[in-house]
Amino acid sequence: MYKKFKLKNGAKIVIAPMKSTKTVTVLVIVGTGSKNETNKIRGISHFLEHMFFKGTEKRPTKLDISKELDSVGGSYNAFTGKEHTGFWAKVDSKHCDLALDVISDMLLNSKLATEDIDSERGTIIEELNMFFDNPMMRIPFLFEEVLYLNNSMGWDIGGTKKTIKSVQKIDFMDYYKKYYTGDNIVIVVAGNFNEKLIKNKINQYFNSISKTKSKKQLKAYDKQIKPNVYLKYQKTDQSHLCLGVRGYKNGHKDKYALNLLSIILGGNMSSRLYMSVVEKGLAYYIYTSPESYNDVGYLASQTGVNNEKCLNAINIIIDEYKKIKNEKVGIEEIKRAKDYLKGQSVIALESSSSMASFFATQELDVGKILTPEEKFAKIDKVTAEDIQRVANDIFVDKKLNLALIGPFNNKKMFRKILKF
């Protein structure tokens, strides 16, 4: 289903042939993100992602880059997270060489021109303005700020307006040299391609990646002794909130039990929280999901409710947490959750882009790839006892956290109900 090898510069390569598709996706993931930033350069991971699209020696402008992929109907983009930065292009399989050429050129030959940096500052500041004006989008990041206060894991990926205005070319070059190295990069090519030629082509386009060792990722810490509340006062008709608990880091043995627990609680439209919150008219949406990083993790439920119903919604979420903690989940409910999780995985992996992401994140985060079948076997092994054990481990008072955007500033009112 896939093959792995390394380039001489240390870059890890995964090729995943898919004869059932007519597309190919080239994805490069670098093991760095906002977690590796200092106060002086907050937002530089995301800023640098933008700069890779501004031009190279071969393709001097952003238009020169975009028009090549646009001219073949390709999809392309990039993303920045707390621990990853990724770049990808998805094209008709006959344009595989073009995707390899453009992505490698952007990654390895960006001009990082001072005038381009200066012009992009305004774009990113407007992106920050859009982000801050959208409570639904912002609330998960505020929840992480609660969890990782005074730690780079809790910082907004976009940085601050102050740092975006102040970072200079030398800062970008220094950051690039520290983290954009072979040992910190995974390249995945997934889709319909010539398997006999692809290895040489990848080497041809990516052999100039730096061989130096990357700087180690900064460590996140995960300590808490009592429930935390973070209120962002804003005059709104609807309050958006994230309520959750500390969970598990990447590779934890109870990963699949936690995933199933989150689906049962709020993973789909037949979940417990959806039926008790949305179907009863308290909110338009609610969902529960786990998040795992290299050092830390959590599970959280997010919703947006009428301000007057805010306390009621929080009480309902906590009640559902307590219920799954105190009562074993029934066989039928577990089966539905398992089938949902496996079904969603199968649907996602029909596309070359999803397949590329599936392999890249596993290889980068844990250095070991499980096939869908191997993952499904682990899912099937989870029992009702496992789910209840995990619920009792995470649903305790000292791990509870609430972040809320709305017209509230009385933390005591919320602290009173944050308990199991």
pLDDT, tens only, 87-116: 999 999 999 999 999 999 999 999 999 999
Q: What's residue 302's pLDDT?
A: 98
* Ranges of residues in the chain whose predicted pLDDT is under 50: none
Distance between CA atoms of 363 and 186, rounded to whole angstroms?
Answer: 7
Q: What's residue 281's pLDDT?
A: 94
Q: Which residues are catalytic?
A: 49
| pLDDT tens profile 132-182 | 999 999 999 999 999 998 899 999 999 999 999 999 999 999 999 999 999
Class level of CATH domain 3-206:
alpha beta
Q: What's residue 222's pLDDT?
A: 85
| Exposed e or buried b per residue across 52-79, where buried means at least 16 C-beta atoms within 10 angstroms of its C-beta | bbbbbeebeeeeebeebbeeeebebebe
Q: What's residue 190's pLDDT?
A: 97
Strand pairing class (12-17; 185-191):
parallel
Question: Three-state SS across 246-315?
Answer: ECCCCCCCCHHHHHHHHHHHHCCCCCHHHHHHHCCCCEEEEEEEEEECCCCEEEEEEEEEEHHHHHHHHH
Superfamily of domain 228-415: Metalloenzyme, LuxS/M16 peptidase-like (3.30.830.10)
Q: What's residue 367's pLDDT?
A: 85
Distance between CA atoms of 54 and 34, rounded to whole angstroms?
Answer: 21
Q: What's residue 176's pLDDT?
A: 98
Q: What angle do CA 313, 244, 289 make, to 5 degrees?
A: 95
Of the candidates 367, 238, 397, 388, which has an alpha carbon nearest to the alpha carbon of residue 306?
A: 238
Q: What's residue 360's pLDDT?
A: 94
For the chain, the domains span 3-206, 228-415
Asked whether 86 and 33 are in contact (CB, 8 A), the reply is no
Fold agreement between 3-206 and 228-415: yes
Per-residue tokens: 376 = 């499904």
Q: What's residue 417's pLDDT?
A: 95
**Enclosing H/E stretch for 244:** strand 238-246
Q: What's residue 16's pLDDT?
A: 96
Q: What's residue 221's pLDDT?
A: 82
Q: What's residue 209's pLDDT?
A: 97
Output the pTM of the full model: 0.95
Rounded to 10 deg, the angle between the 44-51 and 169-179 helix axes is: 100
Q: How far is CA 54 from CA 30, 62, 75, 121, in A?
A: 19, 5, 17, 12
